[in-house]
Amino acid sequence: MGMLKRVVFTEEQMGMLEANPNVLRVTESAITYTPAFKLAAIQAYMQGQTPSEIFIQAGFNLDVIGHQKPKHSLKRWRDTFNQYGEKGLMTERRGKGSTGRKPSGELSAEDELKRAKAKIKLLEAQVDLLKKLDALEQQKKR
């Protein structure tokens, strides 16, 4: 495992990352992603998208988060997924006991809307995924 350059985010970068609906919380050196994003990312990866494409489409700037980040994150999530299934992605396995993010009361209406729209997009993707999985299950039963 090559040494990962420790990324330290500036206040501005942390603000940008926090505004991304795929992010649960941000510290100066770590990003915690939402379970929905992890799941969608694994799904997209299985459909042949590269980790970088997935992260860029999800609104992440690789210059900020680091160009190796998507690859490493996806590998970790796939391992977790293979070992614990969807439930494993729902609970944050790293850094237990880390403090939550500040209440989202400070979000502007615009940010709220952006976040809601992204959440809808993600939920729609999940519904599609579940439909596909369901269809696959049905095929297996035949």
What is the dihedral sign for C-alpha 106, 109, 111, 112?
positive
For 20-70, the pLDDT digits (tens) are 999 999 999 899 999 999 999 999 999 999 999 999 999 999 999 999 999
Structure confidence at residue 100 (pLDDT): 46
Structure confidence at residue 42 (pLDDT): 96
Q: Which residues contact 44 (CB under 8 A, 6 or more apart)?
A: 53, 54, 57
d(CA 70, CA 60) in angstroms, rounded, equals: 10
> Structure pTM?
0.61
E-strand stretches of 1-142: 23-26, 31-33
Q: Which residues contact 11 (CB under 8 A, 6 or more apart)?
A: none
Phi-psi category of 61—alpha, beta or left, where left has phi over 0 and alpha has psi -120 to 50? beta
What is the overall mean pLDDT for the chain?
Answer: 83
